[in-house]
């Protein structure tokens, strides 16, 4: 016990001191007498009417909840915190007399928040998962759950100390907050594990978002100059394709996570991001268009999904276009991801306000599909609307055209800086 006047211990209020004394006093009372007192106590402080047996049961839950929160936060918790949490969780708290409303809300937030990262904790993850899964079933919508694991956190702790490890965790949490949509939820569910709930999101969109989070996180870690390959591994499962039960979805997401972690390979549905070296070696000059007779690359949201969200007034980077391997023996520098089956589209911002379907996207450019591309200028402005990402204003330059099925034409375009 800390000595009286120890500045490291917060000063208790009169109410807190009274409640601590009450705990010790009630411990020594007979259960029936304790129940009589607690029934009147709850009626006075919270305007709820329960039986003596219920009063004793609530009191036991409050004491246990107080101990659990104290263990989680690593510091002593007032009885008021646990009392408000238990009573409000049981939908019994109608008129909190003991504390002001603002203080109650603060206590509720603290009880559901991870102290180190500020994200929601495991308890809230379970509650939100049940709620969002029921909503998805009711309205026939998709719900993606992603489990992320902070790769090599133990090595950071062992080599650089736990303070550095805590910073690595906090950067991961900050990356999640800055990268997710307002409709998404992020949680810290374990020591080095995080979870995401992504409503109305299919598997491809969820994987794209996780890859974007991972690369953004690696960029945020660079100033620390760690000599360890810290990153975020992930696994994704989607309702209803992968199951309609919480346990099945979590099990599959965990399985995919550990398959990725132990295989060292990116999941089959995910096209590998370009390496740090290839990004650093990419020329800063404007892109060189491919010959008109050579199909230019179709493209992946590698850069768009990997880089931080851009302002609509800023075009993406403009690396050199590399022809596909079918025409040249060298490997593509920027992989592509097909956006077929999505609502990805581009709106031309000049002249006729045409729109075109986005076929695929990459770090170097984009492939569009037009019904009549004859009047398309050699260079034009457009706004790309791609799943997960916000609308992005770009300047495009035609690199090639190719006739497709149904009389439609594929137009490969390079990003212009």
Mean pLDDT confidence for 264-287: 37
Contact yes or no for 171/188 (Cβ under 8 A): no
Nearest-angstrom CA–CA distance, 196 and 125: 9
Which of 111, 131, 150 terminates a domain? The answer is 111
Angle between helices 52-73 and 79-89 (to 10 degrees): 120
Mean pLDDT confidence for 193-220: 92
Which of 231, 263, 295 terminates a domain? The answer is 263
Domain that holds residue 357: 282-415
pLDDT digits (tens, 9 = 90+) for 22-73: 788 888 788 888 888 888 888 877 778 888 888 889 899 889 888 888 777 7
Q: Phi, psi at residue 266, to the nearest 5°?
A: -80, 145
Q: Is the pLDDT of residue 112 over 60?
A: yes
- Please report whether residue 130 resides in a domain: yes
pLDDT digits (tens, 9 = 90+) for 309-339: 333 344 444 433 334 434 333 344 456 677 8
* Predicted structure pTM score: 0.46
Same-domain pairing of 290 and 196: no
- Please report whether residue 269 resides in a domain: no
Contact yes or no for 67/54 (Cβ under 8 A): no
Nearest-angstrom CA–CA distance, 283 and 317: 10
Which of 263, 294, 311 terminates a domain? The answer is 263
What's the burial of 405, exposed, middle or buried (CB within 10 Å: 0-12/13-18/19+)?
exposed
Which stretch of 240-249, 281-290, 385-394 has the lowest confidence by average pLDDT? 281-290
Same-domain pairing of 96 and 167: no
Same-domain pairing of 126 and 106: no
- Please report whether residue 9 resides in a domain: no
pLDDT digits (tens, 9 = 90+) for 355-378: 888 988 877 788 998 877 777 888
* Greatest Cα pair distance in the chain: 92
Q: What is the CA radius of gyration of the chain?
A: 28
Task: Please choose, from the candidates 147, 153, 19, 171, the residue with its C-alpha nearest in 3D space to the C-alpha of residue 80.
Answer: 19
pLDDT value for 23: 83
Domain with residue 154: its CATH number is: 3.30.70.270
Same-domain pairing of 370 and 392: yes
- Please report whether residue 275 resides in a domain: no
Cα angle value 126/130/135 (rounded, 5°): 145
Nearest-angstrom CA–CA distance, 147 and 116: 19
Q: What is the DSSP string of 267-324?
A: -TTSPPPPPHHHHHHS--SPPPPPPTTSPPPP--THHHHHSPPPPTTSPPP-PPP---
- Please report whether residue 1 resides in a domain: no
Same-domain pairing of 392 and 411: yes
Q: Is the pLDDT of residue 11 over 70?
A: no
Q: How many domains does the chain have?
A: 3
- Residue whose entry in the numeric block shows the structure tokens 């989070």: 213
Same-domain pairing of 92 and 127: no
Same-domain pairing of 294 and 394: yes
Same-domain pairing of 90 and 127: no
Nearest-angstrom CA–CA distance, 299 and 338: 7
- Please report whether residue 358 resides in a domain: yes
Same-domain pairing of 158 and 71: no
Same-domain pairing of 258 and 193: yes
Same-domain pairing of 134 and 105: no
Same-domain pairing of 194 and 289: no
Q: Is the pLDDT of residue 249 over 90?
A: yes
Contact yes or no for 197/119 (Cβ under 8 A): no
Domain with residue 395: its CATH number is: 2.40.10.220
What's the burial of 51, exposed, middle or buried (CB within 10 Å: 0-12/13-18/19+)?
exposed
- Please report whether residue 409 resides in a domain: yes
- Please report whether residue 41 resides in a domain: yes
Positive or negative torsion for Cα 120, 386, 306, 393: negative
């Amino acid at each position: 016990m800390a000595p009286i006047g120890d500045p490291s211990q917060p000063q208790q209020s009169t109410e807190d001191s009274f409640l601590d004394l009450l705990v010790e006093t009630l411990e020594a009372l007979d259960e029936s007498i304790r129940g009589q007192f607690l029934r009147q106590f709850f009626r006075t402080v919270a305007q709820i009417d329960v039986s003596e047996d219920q009063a004793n049961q609530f009191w036991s839950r409050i004491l246990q909840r107080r101990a659990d929160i104290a263990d989680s936060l690593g510091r002593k918790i007032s009885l008021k915190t646990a009392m408000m949490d238990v009573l409000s969780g049981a939908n019994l708290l109608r008129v909190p007399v003991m504390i002001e409303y603002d203080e109650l809300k603060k206590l509720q937030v603290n009880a559901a928040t991870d102290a180190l990262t500020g994200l929601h904790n495991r308890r809230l993850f379970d509650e939100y998962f049940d709620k969002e899964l029921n909503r998805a079933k009711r309205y026939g919508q998709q719900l993606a759950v992603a489990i992320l694991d902070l790769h090599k956190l133990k090595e950071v702790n062992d080599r650089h100390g736990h303070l550095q490890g805590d910073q690595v965790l906090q950067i991961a949490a900050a990356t999640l907050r800055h990268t997710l949509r307002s409709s998404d939820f992020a949680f810290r569910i374990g020591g080095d594990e995080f979870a995401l709930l992504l409503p109305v999101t299919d598997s491809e969109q969820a994987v794209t978002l996780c890859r974007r989070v991972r690369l953004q996180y690696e960029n945020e870690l660079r100033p620390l100059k760690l000599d360890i390959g810290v990153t975020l591994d992930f696994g994704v499962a989607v309702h209803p394709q992968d199951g309609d039960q919480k346990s099945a979805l979590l099990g599959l997401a965990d399985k995919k996570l550990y398959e990725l972690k132990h295989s060292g390979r990116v999941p089959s549905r995910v096209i590998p991001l370009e390496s740090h070296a290839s990004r650093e070696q990419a020329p800063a000059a404007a892109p060189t268009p491919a010959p008109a007779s050579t199909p230019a690359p179709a493209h992946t949201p590698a850069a768009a999904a990997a880089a931080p969200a851009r302002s609509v007034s800023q075009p993406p980077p403009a690396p050199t276009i590399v022809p596909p391997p079918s025409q040249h023996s060298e490997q593509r520098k920027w992989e592509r991801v097909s956006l077929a089956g999505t609502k990805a589209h581009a709106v031309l911002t000049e002249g006729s306000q045409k729109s075109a379907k986005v076929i695929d996207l990459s770090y170097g450019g984009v492939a569009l599909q037009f019904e009549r591309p004859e009047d398309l200028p050699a260079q034009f402005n457009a706004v790309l609307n791609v799943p997960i990402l916000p609308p992005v204003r770009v300047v495009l330059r035609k690199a090639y055209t190719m006739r497709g099925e149904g009389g439609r034409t594929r137009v490969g375009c390079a990003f212009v800086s």
